[in-house]
Structure 1
Amino acid sequence: MDAVPKDAVVFISQPTPHINAVFGGLMALRARQLNATGTVVDGNLRDLEEHRHLEFPVFAKGVSTSAGGPLYRASEVNVPVKLNSTVQERWIHPGDYIIADLNGVVCVPEASVADVIDVVSKIVEADEKCAEAIKGGRSVAETFKEIRGQ
């Protein structure tokens, strides 16, 4: 954790099928001190209350009460990481953008950022128009048909 660059998102990939936590409050404290912008754990974390008090954004697949202890150590830093997915093979590369909120986490390849911003801007604009129409009394079906073409 001591090697985290300023403004970086810490991404941790937990080996399967381990169930212990690989990230906790002390690691979050250190990442925050180093000015990381947040952490995404492709696995389990612990110490939820500590994360809330730190006001440091942390996202994970799951929670465990068991610490990783001597079982887990960083093996590589700033290298491509494969997501643990049974659906499709996905990789996160250094320089990719990780965006997260209460709804979930997405990774945008560095080369696609401009295209994603363009598409998302149009979606947000359409959603704002839909919200105004619905607030004005229009039906969802009518609004979506007119604004979204659905």
Structure 2
Amino acid sequence: MVSRVVIDAISKFTTCDAADALQKLKVPHGGFLSGLTMYSPARQSGPTKIVGPAYTVRYVRKNYENAPKPEGHYIDSIPAGSVVFISSPPRLVNAVYGGLMSTRAQASGAVGTIVDGRVRDLQEHRDLEYPVFAREVGTSAPAEVVRVSEVNSPVRLQSDEQDAVINPGDILIADLNGVVCIPQDLAPRIVELMASQADADEKVAADIKAGKTFTDASKEHRSKVKQP
């Protein structure tokens, strides 16, 4: 379990900072989860950022009769401080997450929700000012075609571009640039790497504004960036 101190430290940085650090640690694509973008509180606009441990929910199609069937509703068991990650079956027309779910998640203390699939009731999420990231928007409710099968178990990103798994407790960070999954065992290690890289980039930017070339400024400051 990642400590609150580490989560707060990660919160000071962007998804790009996190991805840069994870690439140095040989995490494929720097942990970036392709295709997931901000829909609430605004569409790809503003300073919204969420950071927290993943609370995963996996939907399956209703004809998967042998898949597990958890008791109760996942929305009533969200730990405070979590990022809810909803996994929808691929190529599903129906939405798997709506406004009432955000109402309950927010009341439970969740910091935001990421939907690997379609979300609906967009204005309701925005009225709550509750952060929601998703792959697409839809209108139809999920019950006719899918059901929840697993809660807090590993889920695979529904993407043809990459093979990525989100584990319960992995740290999810999401902002205007997208979503990054930080393996929980690497979370403490990336803080120093992010701080060093961000500091160097600030100095590079300052030197460029003062008249230096990008090449010269990068050579001076980026050569000093901390490595794993």
Write the distance in 2 (CA, Å) between the matches of 1:4 and 1:70.
24
* Aligned counterpart in structure 2 of residue 53 of structure 1, from 114, 127, 135: 127
Deviation sequence 1:74-121 (CA, Å, 0-9, x none): 211111111112233211111110001111000111101122222211
CA RMSD of aligned residues (A): 1.6
SS in 2 for 1:36: coil
Alignment of 1:105-116 (within 5 A): 105-116=179-190
**What is the match of residue 93 of structure 1?**
167
* Aligned counterpart in structure 2 of residue 148 of structure 1, from 199, 209, 222: 222
Deviation at 1:50, TM superposition (A): 1.9
**What is the match of residue 112 of structure 2?**
38
* Aligned counterpart in structure 2 of residue 72 of structure 1, from 146, 152, 166: 146
Alignment of 1:113-124 (within 5 A): 113-124=187-198
The TM-score, its normalising length taken from structure 1, stands at 0.89
SS in 2 for 1:61: strand
Question: What's the % identity of the aligned pairs?
Answer: 50
SS in 1 for 2:124: helix
SS in 2 for 1:17: coil
SS in 1 for 2:113: strand
> 1:131 aligned to 2:131?
no
SS in 1 for 2:185: helix
Write the distance in 1 (CA, Å) between the matches of 2:102 and 2:144.
18
Bigger Cα displacement from structure 2, 83-92 vs 22-31: 83-92
Structure 2 gaps, min length 5: 1-74, 224-228
SS in 2 for 1:138: coil
Deviation at 1:128, TM superposition (A): 1.0
Deviation beyond 4 Å, 4+ runs, structure 1: none
> 1:18 aligned to 2:125?
no
Bigger relative CO (Cα 8 Å, ≥ 6 apart): 2
Write the distance in 2 (CA, Å) between the matches of 1:83 and 1:60.
12
SS in 2 for 1:73: strand
The TM-score, its normalising length taken from structure 2, stands at 0.61
Equivalent residues, number: 149
Write the distance in 2 (CA, Å) between the matches of 1:19 and 1:130.
46
